[in-house]
């Protein structure tokens, strides 16, 4: 049975504390929302529509780099507005199954999806749910009174929640404009639909408060070891009109001489990643004696190293590059370099550092004969 899906990712996540919207923060090197997108696509989603805030589209594109089968729509001020916009963008048959998921629940897996699809065969809506295990207290803030509330037959609804596209679209259109549904099941309930609850999963918890991220990081990295790799590269200057550094071309009265584009920053970082996973160095994978690499964009080398990390089941934690030269000036281009590296590596920009220093006119860099770069990278690998 084919299905489509919606990820609601337009919220600001203010309760999650500083660090930006929670759906774009990293967990084990991947944006929170990417975890859900990968899970839905891996479970067979025909298409996934992600509702984002008006200023979140570029962040989403970077977070989802390398994945296919998704699209973005502008979300609304309320969650229901975001769901409406995403439903309109799906444009599938009325009987198609659609799963609506909170971006802030990263640990979705295929078994959750299969259980929901099976349950939807006989009902109008389905969602995973957990019975309330803790004693409930109702606090009257004005009077300071605390009252124990009965928890019998109470359940905590999770997402994704499953519906037929036509049914949820029509029910949401009939929802009173002055009211805000707390979840999508409530919309079907109001329309008189039949609801089923599937077995919930504690791993489907929603990232809401700052401490939730610490727990999610621990859950995402069971049985993993952190490796550190170092890289170093040097290229001499020759006649030219610009140099490539960290994937960015900088106008200069010289160029760097090398078999490829001589991007010392990308070469050092490639070696750092290869070193972290014990895969030799850049020359082992791209021999300078091979004419096919002459003048090639060094991003090819870095993408290869990233692919080897991924093939080992690893994730990149952070990278740190230091460029050593008297000229050109690096600071005006540092942000562009960080953005380019974040895109190539598939990590957040705050996990990428680019620095520059001089040797106080000492040595070959001080004399302006060439340029050096050193890099460090952390990689998390399974045991």
pLDDT at 364 over 80: yes
Of 82, 77, 110, 113, give the one whose Cα is nearest residue 98. Answer: 113
279-318 as b/e: b if 16+ CB within 10 A: beebeeebeeeeeebeeeebbebbbbbbebbeebebbbbb
Do 213 and 228 sit in the same domain of this protein?
A: no
**Alpha carbons 40 and 6: distance in angstroms, whole number:** 9
Q: Do both 282 and 161 map to the same domain?
A: no
Report which DSSP code applies to 224.
E
Q: Are residues 231 and 347 in the same domain?
A: yes
Among 220, 243, 271, identify where a domain stops: 220
Q: Tell me, what CATH number does 261's domain have? A: 3.30.1330.50
Is 286:301 a contact under the CB 8 Å cutoff? Answer: yes
158: CATH: 3.90.550.10
Residue 137 CA to residue 150 CA, distance in Å, equals 9
pLDDT of residue 369: 96
Residue 136, helix vs strand vs coil: strand
Per-residue confidence (pLDDT) for residue 77, from 0 to 100: 85
Q: 39 and 5 in contact (C-beta within 8 Å)?
A: no
Instruction: For 124-154, write each residue's pLDDT tens digit.
Output: 999 999 999 888 888 876 666 788 888 888 9
Same domain as 70, residue 15: yes
One domain for residues 368 and 252: yes
Q: Give the structural domain span for 265.
A: 224-382
Does residue 264 share a domain with residue 207?
no
- In 160-241, where do the E strands start and end? 161-164, 195-199, 224-239
Q: pTM for this one?
A: 0.61
**110 and 29: one domain?**
yes
Q: Retrieve residue 12's tokens.
A: 């600001």
What backbone phi and psi angles, to 5 degrees, belong to 45? -60, 130
- Condensed to tens digits (0 to 9), the pLDDT of residues 201-230 reads 999 999 988 888 888 888 887 677 899 999
Q: Give the number of C-alpha atoms closer than 13 A to the C-alpha of residue 72, restricted to the C-beta side.
A: 19
Q: Is the pLDDT of residue 279 over 80?
A: yes
28 and 141, same domain (yes or no):
yes
Q: What is the distance between the alpha carbons of residues 308 and 273, in angstroms, rounded to a whole number? A: 9
Same domain, 52 and 95: yes
Into how many domains does the chain fold?
Answer: 2
Whether 214 and 230 share a structural domain = no
Residues 55 and 200 in one domain: yes
Domain edge (last residue) among 188, 203, 220? 220
Q: Which of 192, 220, 248 is the last residue in one of the domains?
A: 220
Residue 366: count of CB within 10 angstroms of its CB: 14
255: left (phi over 0), alpha (psi -120 to 50) or beta: beta
Tell me the backbone φ, ψ of residue 79, rounded to 5 degrees. -55, -45
């Amino acid at each position: 049975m084919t299905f489509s899906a919606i990820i609601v990712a337009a919220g600001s996540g203010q309760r999650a504390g500083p660090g930006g919207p929670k759906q774009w923060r990293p967990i084990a090197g991947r944006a929170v929302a990417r975890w859900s997108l990968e899970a839905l696509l891996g479970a067979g989603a025909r298409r996934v529509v992600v509702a984002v805030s008006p200023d979140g589209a570029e962040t989403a594109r970077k977070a989802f780099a390398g994945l296919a089968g998704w699209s973005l729509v502008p979300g609304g001020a309320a969650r229901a507005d975001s769901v409406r916009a995403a439903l309109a963008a799906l444009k599938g048959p009325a009987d198609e199954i659609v799963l609506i998921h909170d971006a802030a629940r990263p640990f979705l897996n295929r078994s959750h999806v299969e259980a929901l699809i099976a349950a939807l065969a006989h009902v109008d809506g389905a969602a995973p749910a957990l019975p309330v295990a803790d004693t409930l207290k109702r606090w009257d803030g004005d009077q300071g009174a605390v009252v124990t509330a009965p928890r019998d037959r109470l359940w905590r609804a999770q997402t994704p929640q499953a519906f037929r596209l036509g049914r949820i679209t029509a029910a949401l259109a009939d929802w009173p404009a002055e009211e805000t549904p707390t979840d999508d099941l409530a919309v079907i309930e109001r329309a008189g639909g039949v609801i089923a609850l599937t077995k919930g999963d504690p791993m489907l918890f929603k990232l809401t408060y700052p401490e939730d991220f610490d727990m999610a990081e621990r859950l995402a990295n069971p049985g993993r070891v952190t490796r550190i790799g170092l890289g170093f590269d040097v290229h001499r200057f020759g006649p030219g009109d610009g140099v490539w550094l960290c994937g960015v071309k900088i106008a200069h009265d010289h160029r760097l001489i090398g078999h490829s584009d001589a991007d010392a920053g990308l070469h050092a970082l490639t070696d750092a990643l290869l070193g972290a996973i014990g895969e030799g160095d850049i020359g082992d994978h791209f021999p300078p004696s091979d004419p096919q690499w002459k003048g090639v964009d060094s991003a090819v080398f870095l993408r290869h190293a990233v692919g080897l990390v991924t093939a080992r089941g690893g994730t990149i934690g952070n990278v740190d590059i230091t460029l050593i030269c008297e000229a050109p000036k690096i600071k005006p281009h540092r942000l562009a370099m960080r953005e380019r590296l974040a895109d190539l590596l598939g990590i957040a920009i705050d996990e990428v550092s680019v620095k520059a220093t001089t040797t106080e006119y000492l040595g070959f860099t001080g004399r302006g004969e060439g340029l050096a770069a050193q890099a460090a990278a952390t990689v998390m690998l399974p045991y």
